[in-house]
Chain A
């Protein structure tokens, strides 16, 4: 295949990838979009293996087969509630692949055509592969930490130590200096040292960030994996890789921005971490009276309601309560109650987490609404059910300028006639470590139980 044809094939692959992302504006189009993504990938791989420099197919086929089987099995078996850790795990693989490819390009530059007449690697290629390997290494080790936090292999609490940010800054500066030196002289030791440091800083960057900030972290790592791919794309001079890297990089960046905005936090405050570390001190007013109810009371209220809005959060995922919840809402709908869902952008551990869980439980997507869409409707709603969410409903975000979450957009469940708040116990606070005045409001009924158990009991009463 001529070089021109190859480049055209990569262009086709890039266009298919853009269309794959464009499809995600609606579920139906998204399914077609996924097929285009697969086609784009097949074209990119097919074009590359037809290159005359690729002659040894045995190992390649075996590697694709092994990886393909593992990937397919994981993807088919994974629980929908475990999606955040799966995505974090996948990010780490992209990062590692970038590190391996950049290292291979450094060790065998002749296979990649990046040698100049005197047999040294082009300066531009050195800088590109350095950036690719550094971002790839950060993506890898950062995603491993995110994976461990999400999968519960390590505590989700922020890990802080003195002068942490200065250490990170110092390592960052050293990496930059080493890359500059590597651009001057292609000494292998610089390459391996900055690669090692990049692995270290990936860990250091993510450990201070608490579990509830994971939606931002995961989006950010998504973005990094794209920039790493783009860096490698420059080294290879491959347009499909450059375009894809740019698409993925901007996608992750936009998602990070949306998540930060939904928490009213700056990107830097999330990155610096430590949020939620003050959890134990802020809670002193536990003795205020609150109203408790039983499943029977809840069922009675729901039966007599005209309209209900359900606000799910991470707790619903933990309790695996989405199926029972969907059954209860189906029963209510059968009795003529209008049931809808209100989703906060940061509910759960990754963007869109709740929507996937509700979809899994066969909730029609027309019933699931975004924050801006549903907020005006709370004031004419009879019952709001909060299940596994907390801070995203806290009126302090609107009323109390001293609150750490002041200014964060919330779902205004307090405007509903009655709030049913499902929670394990009156102890325990949301991720921000603050009390929620909603618990003590006269129109709130606390349902203290495991979310799944409570929904089952309500279901029986209906």
Chain B
């Protein structure tokens, strides 16, 4: 008997929740704002769905929606990673030179 692919996906999903649980508890509270910024950026991997909608040669409503979604996701991906980097570059320990822009 064949296992439905949905079951595999569900397995991945449930295990990833557990990975997330343990990884997130190890994040230092001082970096909770960068955590939100970076989770924002990576959740925009939803762009892969938008790419599939925008990919076909023929013009369609789905393609327009796809292109709009790519634009929004791109704002988030670039914005999320850049702002995370900006915040993280400010966290400096004692005795290290503060980084100047």
Residues in chain A within 8 A of chain B (CB atoms): 13-14, 17-18, 20-22, 24-27, 30-31, 33-34, 37-38, 40-41, 44-45, 48-49, 51, 53-56, 59-60, 63-72, 74-76, 78, 80, 83, 86-87, 90-91, 93-94, 96-98, 100-101, 103-105, 107-108, 111-112, 124, 218-219, 222, 225-226, 228-230, 232-252, 254-255, 258, 343, 345, 350-353, 355-356, 359-360, 362, 364-368, 370
Contacts and interface: CB of A to CB of B under 8 A. Distances in A.
Nearest to A72: B78
B86 to A, nearest CB: 7
Given A228-B46, A250-B21, A355-B33, 17 more contacts: A21-B27, A59-B63, A72-B82, A90-B40, A90-B80, A96-B69, A97-B76, A101-B53, A101-B66, A107-B61, A111-B53, A219-B36, A222-B36, A232-B49, A237-B5, A247-B20, A364-B95
Contacts, number: 382
Q: Size band of the B side of the interface?
A: 35 or more
A359 B87 contact: yes
A78 B42 CA distance: 20
A70 B9 CA distance: 34
Given A24-B34, A225-B40, A248-B43, A365 B49 contact: no
B31 A24 contact: yes
Contacts of A252: 36, 39
B12 A74 contact: no
Contact of A351 (B32, B68, B93, B96): B32
A104 B50 contact: yes
A387 to B, nearest CB: 18
Interface of B: 5-6, 9, 12-14, 16-17, 19-21, 23-57, 60-63, 65-96, 98
Nearest to A246: B16
A172 B32 CA distance: 31
Nearest to A219: B36
Contacts of B84: 34, 37
Contacts of A75: 78-80, 82-83, 86
B39 A21 contact: yes
29 contacts: A22-B26, A27-B31, A34-B85, A54-B51, A55-B57, A59-B54, A65-B74, A67-B72, A70-B78, A71-B75, A75-B78, A75-B79, A75-B80, A75-B86, A93-B73, A94-B43, A101-B65, A108-B56, A108-B60, A111-B55, A225-B40, A226-B43, A229-B46, A240-B48, A243-B12, A246-B16, A351-B36, A355-B31, A364-B95
B55 A22 contact: no
Given A250-B17, A352-B32, A244 B27 contact: no
Contacts of B26: 22, 25
B24 A64 contact: no
Instruction: Identify whether the interface residues of A are mostly helix, strand, loop, or mixed.
Output: helix
Nearest to B48: A48
B12 to A, nearest CB: 5
Contacts of B67: 59-60, 63
Contact of B53 (A31, A104, A258): A104
Given A232-B46, A239-B12, A251 B20 contact: yes
B11 to A, nearest CB: 10
Contacts of A17: 42, 45
A235 B52 CA distance: 12
Nearest to A109: B62
Contacts of B61: 104, 107-108
Nearest to A90: B40
Contact of A97 (B19, B35, B46, B92): B46
A55 B86 CA distance: 36
B78 A107 contact: no
B76 A101 contact: no
A244 B42 contact: yes
A226 B44 CA distance: 9
Contacts of B82: 71-72, 75-76
Contacts of B47: 44-45, 48, 97
Contact of B34 (A76, A97, A356): A356
B65 A13 contact: no
A247 B19 contact: yes
B33 to A, nearest CB: 4
Nearest to B56: A111
